Amino acid sequence: MSAPPSSHRTALTVVTALFFMWGFLTCLNDILIPHLKSIFDLSYAEVMLVQFAFFSSYFVFSFPSGKIIDFFGYKKAMVAGLVTMGVGALMFVPAAAVPSFPLFLAALITLAAGMTLLQTSANPYVAVLGPPRTASSRLNLTQAFNSLGTTIAPAFGSKLILGAVAAPVAVEVLRAMSPDQLHAYRVVQAASVKGPYIGLALALLLLAVVIGFFRLPTIEAAEPHGRVHDSVWRHRHLVLGAVGIFVYVGAEVAIGSFLTNYFHGADIGNLSLQDAADMLKYYWGGAMVGRFIGSALLQKIRPGTLLGFNAIVAGLLVVISILSSGHVAMWSILLVGLFNSIMFPSIFTLGVDGLGPLTGDGSALLIAAIVGGAIIPELQGVLADRIGIHHAFVLPVLCYLYIAFYGFKGSRRPGAA
């Protein structure tokens, strides 16, 4: 690293804006899900294709993103990611004009492709932008601003997307409409998506210009030093960490995706869809608060220990929600966000710990594992259609049990001090 520490702090500030934007856009999916479910009369399994399309892109585009970073460097990769995200956001306009659920999915895939490139470059950039011993704390701090985006997004989405249209009609009324009436209804309901995503597209393209002209410190890759024949698959803590990212993102996204419909239920919150969506700010806000606290705690506590503790508490809170109803069920599941907070950055830094010249390849593997956000919510959607939304939360409990194992045992490197 040739750049002085002061420029590292400035660069960290600029890159933090990227974390905010992808948190904001990811959380908007939780608002889109109930909206598209009512517009297109979808089952839970069908509407979870929103998350499946979005998070599958991480698996598809993560390794090509790694190659782009190798060839063009961190900065150009970040700019390319922002431009691609801007194009994806603009694609929501024709999707809403038709309106077409497959077109919405295509827009989400494009948006997620850009976000994958952004994450594959920004996460390891933050991890190596300073002393290795504080990498987990540093990544937690930037991820806290990612959570700031996810905290603001529900209020933004519930007012500008759900609140901008009349309440959705009952399923029986929807199914009784003629094809012309159904088309007219869908056009009116879907129109509320256009304005917010046009605004977001402009913000993303403006941010791309700012990053393009900003002088980020150049961080060169380490020389192989005889480890050129090494493989990421030989590092047990990394492979187990990839599974950890898979189940963590899956559990976090599955819970967030179902909360609006969960709180809408008469036995839980009995809230309108708009009010239920607004409650998401407490789930994602808890993650933000937890990351600021975690950033300080991780200066003194081993990341694996704190990760294991948080996973156990998160799992217990989900069990309480499953076994209860009303406000107890509602607030116990919302509290999970606080304990989710340090999981992603902690698993990420534990996974790439000690990889040296393989850090880039290890990072691509961990980002690819975000595909858990596609698969686990879809499985929970299938469960919800069969056993009800309330008991389908058993799936995230199993995910937290694995994360506890990884924190306490699986993340330890053989022979590491």
210 domain residue, yes or no: yes
pLDDT of residue 227: 44
CA–CA separation, 154 and 277 (whole Å) = 6
For residue 118, give the CATH number of its domain.
1.20.1250.20
Distances (CA, A) of 372 to 135, 243, 252: 24, 9, 10
pLDDT of residue 237: 93
Residue 142: give the domain boundaries. 5-217+230-410
Nearest to 359 by CA among 217, 224, 216, 218: 224
Burial (CB count within 10 angstroms: exposed 0-12, middle 13-18, buried 19+), residue 244: buried
pLDDT of residue 9: 77
CA–CA separation, 165 and 288 (whole Å) = 30
225 domain residue, yes or no: no
pLDDT of residue 417: 44
SS3 277: helix
Residues sharing a CB contact under 8 Å with residue 74, sequence separation 6 or more, in sequence order: 121, 122, 125, 216, 219
pLDDT of residue 218: 67
pLDDT of residue 66: 80
CA 27, 30, 35, 41 torsion-angle sign: positive
pLDDT of residue 403: 97
pLDDT of residue 249: 95
pLDDT of residue 74: 81
Kindly report each contact of residues 358-361 with a partner whose C-beta sits within 8 Å and lies 24 or more positions away, as own/partner: 358/227, 358/230, 358/231, 358/232, 358/235, 359/124, 359/127, 359/128, 359/222, 360/66, 360/69, 360/70, 360/124, 360/221, 361/66, 361/232
Q: How many CB atoms lie within 10 A of CB 229?
A: 7
pLDDT of residue 415: 60
SS3 290: helix
pLDDT of residue 224: 41
pLDDT of residue 226: 44
pLDDT of residue 220: 54
325 domain residue, yes or no: yes
278 domain residue, yes or no: yes
Q: How many Å from the N-terminal Cα to the C-terminal Cα in the chain?
A: 25
pLDDT of residue 137: 77
223 domain residue, yes or no: no
47 domain residue, yes or no: yes
Provide block-wise average pLDDT over 10 residues at a time, the chain (417 residues).
Answer: 57 84 87 88 90 90 85 87 96 94 95 90 77 75 85 83 73 85 90 91 93 75 48 90 96 92 91 87 89 86 94 98 94 96 91 79 87 92 92 96 96 69
Instruction: Work out how many domains the chain is built from and give that number.
Output: 1
415 domain residue, yes or no: no
DSSP label at 301? S
pLDDT of residue 367: 87
- With beta carbons less than 8 A apart as the criterion, state whether 62 and 112 touch: no
- With beta carbons less than 8 A apart as the criterion, state whether 142 and 123 touch: no
pLDDT of residue 397: 97
Residues sharing a CB contact under 8 Å with residue 31, sequence separation 6 or more, in sequence order: 153, 154, 157, 158, 161, 162, 260, 277, 280
- Most distant CA pair in the chain: distance in Å? 70
237 domain residue, yes or no: yes
